Amino acid sequence: MSNNSIFLKREILQRIVKSFLSDDFEKNTRLIPFDMRPKGAEVPYRCCIYKERAILKDRVIAGLGFAIEDDDETVSLTEYAHRALLREKPEENLLTVLGAACKGCVPKRIYVTDLCQGCVARTCTSACRAGAIEIVNGKANIDSSKCKACKMCIDACPYNAIVKVAVPCEDHCPVNAIEKNQDGTAKIDFDKCISCGKCVTHCPFGAVHEKSQLIEVLKLLKAKKEISVMFAPAIAGEFEGTIGQLKSALKKVGFTNVYEVARGADITIKTEAQEFRERMMNAEPFMTTSCCAGYNELVNKHIQELDKYRSNAKTPLFYTSEIVKFEHPDGVNIFISPCVAKKHEAKFNNNIDLVINSEELNALFMGLNINVKDCEEYIDDKEPSRQGRKFPVSGGVAEAVEFALGFSICSKIVSGVDKNSIKNLKQYAKEGKCEDANLVEVMCCEGGCIRGNATMSDTRTSFKRINSLASKGSDIEIISD
């Protein structure tokens, strides 16, 4: 999804990189809101230039890796930049809410508009099982204290006079992990959160923000440490050019060693295929995939009864990080992710030190004036399979498992986790069967990892790029009996 709030975030990340590379990081970081909204400039979004600058400051704080909730408004960006330089490790929670931006949303509710005609039918009152609607002065009125937000009245009104005022972050969160406080600011319940990133993607104010680890990466690059970088298969669909050119661009940034996480995907494919075969031989009803970090958190926190049907295979990132740690035991390992869910996964992997997303990688490229499609071709003698490279496309995992098995399977693709798909997954676990499918591929993002919350290219473009790049690789070996 492309919108102005996302463009603002990306511009700030680029400005942070340029400030770091400048002669005075702290001063130039402080000036970012003023450079973006100079005196006399047009005020496109807020009531005044001072409000605009205040919210831009909050975005810079998140870009520096700090929680907005902890800001007391008296600390300058100069001080935050200084603290970022001194910080030894990133903060815990990966998401933060920009309160000043968030208060633009009105509370979620169902209400009756002026379109109400006070009709004789009064189908709205009969449809409401909670008894929340009564007729006042000839018009329908909803008692919010009784309303259950079932939306039956909306469906029943012949004039479409009853509407729901949505709060996008709440509506799109599949596990009800975010809601507004009494002060009108959204709060994330991290005990429920599965790090799917839907709140980040769908907030029209850009109020839900990832706390960046970009400064940590920049400090390592400046210190010329040995850095191994691993990029998710979805990242290849983000930039024009070949995978070889992308690897060359990463080397130009200053990363010592470059790894495709598609190499780990090849291990995941073989492991899941072998496990699937064994489960089917034992007459188990179905198996779900296990490569999506958001889905794994969903099972761990909300559908534990589904765990026994989930593959025991590790994620491609897990296997790749093992390879990297073995080959470079004393280096620093950085992962480039399409979504916040993989950042969450990396927190529990000792083989991964830092994570940046595709937007932050783009900020590095922009700050260093690196254009991927202009880079020379990097020759790598450890190419993954084309099936591994197609992992980020919805259906790619199931297709890869089927290819590795060498025979047809019945698969069901869950492309995007929402409240309805969660209901279905719970039903599969309860009934011990999944319609006519014996392999269920689950991706939190609609379309797969190419639609992760930090991706920049539209889904169609990413899909074409991934398929084009994957078509040039070799097939994975079919597993033996």
At residue 302, does pLDDT exceed 70? Answer: yes
Contact in structure between 338 and 454 (CB atoms under 8 Å) = yes
Q: Find out whether 215 and 354 touch, Cβ atoms under 8 Å.
A: no
- Specify the DSSP element, H or E, that contains 294: helix 293-301
Extract the tokens encoding 135.
Answer: 């007729």
Query: pLDDT averaged over the chain?
Result: 94
Portion of the chain with pLDDT greater than 90, in percent: 84
Which one-letter DSSP state was computed for residue 16?
Answer: H
Residues of the chain within CATH 3.30.70.20 domain(s) are 109-165
Classify burial at 232, counting beta carbons within 10 Å of its beta carbon; exposed 0-12, middle 13-18, buried 19 or more: buried
Nearest to 266 by CA among 294, 293, 233: 233
pLDDT digit string (tens) for 410-447?
A: 999 999 999 999 999 999 999 999 988 999 999 999 99
Taking each continuous run of H as one helix and of E as one strand, the counts in the chain are 21, 15
Question: How far apart (Å, rounded) are the C-alpha atoms in residues 258 and 230?
Answer: 6
**59 SS3 class:** helix
DSSP state, 45? S
At residue 107, does pLDDT exceed 80?
Answer: no
Q: Sign of dihedral through CA atoms 460, 466, 470, 471?
A: positive
The packing angle between helices 358-367 and 243-253, to 10°, is 60
Give the span between the Cα atoms of 481 and 478, in whole angstroms: 10
Is the pLDDT at 1 greater than 70, yes or no?
no
Average of per-residue pLDDT across 239-243: 94
Q: Name the DSSP letter for residue 37.
A: S
User: And the tokens for 481?
Assistant: 């009996």
Q: DSSP per residue over 224-292, as a string?
A: T--EEEEE-GGGGGTSSS-HHHHHHHHHHHT-SEEEETHHHHHHHHHHHHHHHHHHHHTT-S-EE----
pLDDT band at 99; cut points 50, 70, 90: confident
Q: Name every residue whose Cβ is closer than 8 Å to that of residue 350 and which is 6 or more positions away in sequence.
A: none
More confident residue, 182 or 191: 191
392-400 average pLDDT score:
96
Q: Could you tell me the fold of the domain covering 109-165?
A: Alpha-Beta Plaits (3.30.70)
Non-local CB neighbours of 369 within 8 Å, separated by 6+ positions: none
Distance CA(249)–CA(346), nearest Å, equals 23
Average pLDDT estimate for 248-277: 97
Q: pLDDT value at position 238?
A: 96
With a cut of 90, say whether residue 391 has pLDDT above it. Answer: yes
Q: Give the closest residue to 228 by CA, choosing from 120, 117, 327, 358.
A: 327
Q: How much is the CA Rg of the chain, to the nearest whole Å?
A: 25
The 10s digit of each residue's pLDDT in 322-373 is: 999 999 999 999 999 999 999 999 999 999 999 999 999 999 999 999 999 9
Instruction: Give the C-alpha separation, 471 to 464, whole Å.
Output: 11
Summarize the confidence of residues 307-322 as an average pLDDT.
Answer: 98
Q: Residue 324: helix, strand or coil by DSSP?
A: helix
The one-letter code for the residue type at 140 is: A
Which residue would you say has higher pLDDT here, 6 or 417? Answer: 417
Residues of the chain with CATH 3.40.950.10: 216-470
C-alpha to C-alpha distance for 471 and 481, rounded to whole angstroms: 27
Look at domain 216-470 and name its CATH class.
alpha beta
* Phi and psi torsions of 397, nearest 5°: -70, -50
Q: What span, in angstroms and rounded, lies between the C-alpha atoms of 465 and 453?
A: 18
Q: In what order do the strands lie in the sheet with 287-288?
A: 287-288, 439-443, 411-415
Give the confidence band of 2 by pLDDT, cuts at 50, 70, 90: low
Alpha carbon distances (Å) from 64 to 102, 216, 285, 320, 388: 19, 9, 48, 28, 34
Under the banding of pLDDT at 50, 70 and 90, the label for residue 104 is low
Three-state DSSP class for residue 96: strand
Mean pLDDT along residues 169-183 = 90
